[in-house]
Structure 1
């Protein structure tokens, strides 16, 4: 049986054998995908000055100084008053995470 032909065939027209074959094929493909390591992990974000303070473990005034210093500007997206910070990039830019350039 060819998978391409079965994929274009409506389910109500399939025999039980065809349906089971297609289901097993899909499960095998899914197993192959889950075995491969995830190359790009999810990004973590913190929000606002409070988020920066929690990220760096400092006070709100110190978080304001960090933001105003410009050192983590590449990690910050600001729209109006809303501040979104890419946590991993901010830590790298500040020199608190190994593997990043200073």
Structure 2
């Protein structure tokens, strides 16, 4: 069954499993942000110590917001900046 075939007024409990899974594909589970050095390491696919070195180098400063020990990283922007260097 195509997504367009599902009536928008149909209650969720009346959907079949296949219909529900088709609808759920449209919801992105990707987060826009990662947090902390572990999050940066996850974005870059490296160790936490290497992520700390990259952060300290300053090349990702435009993608990182830091207030004391809280670090928030914009994933897309960080990857763009990292690709330029």
TM-score band by shorter chain is 0.5 to 0.7
Q: Distance in 2 between matches of 1:55 and 1:94?
A: 10
SS of the residue 2:65 aligns to: strand
Q: Which runs of 4+ in 1 moved over 2 A?
A: none
**Structure 2 unpaired stretches of 5+:** 1-29
Aligned length: 55
Question: How do 1:84-99 and structure 2 match up within 5 A?
Answer: 84-95=72-83
Number of the residue aligned with 1:18: none
From the CA coordinates, give the structure whose radius of gyration is larger.
Answer: 1
Q: CA RMSD in A?
A: 1.5
Name which of 30, 53, 66 aligns with 1:65: 53
**Counterparts of 1:1-102 in structure 2 under 5 Å?**
44-95=32-83, 102=84
TM-score by length of 1: 0.51
Which structure is higher in RCO with an 8 Å CA cutoff and minimum separation 6?
2
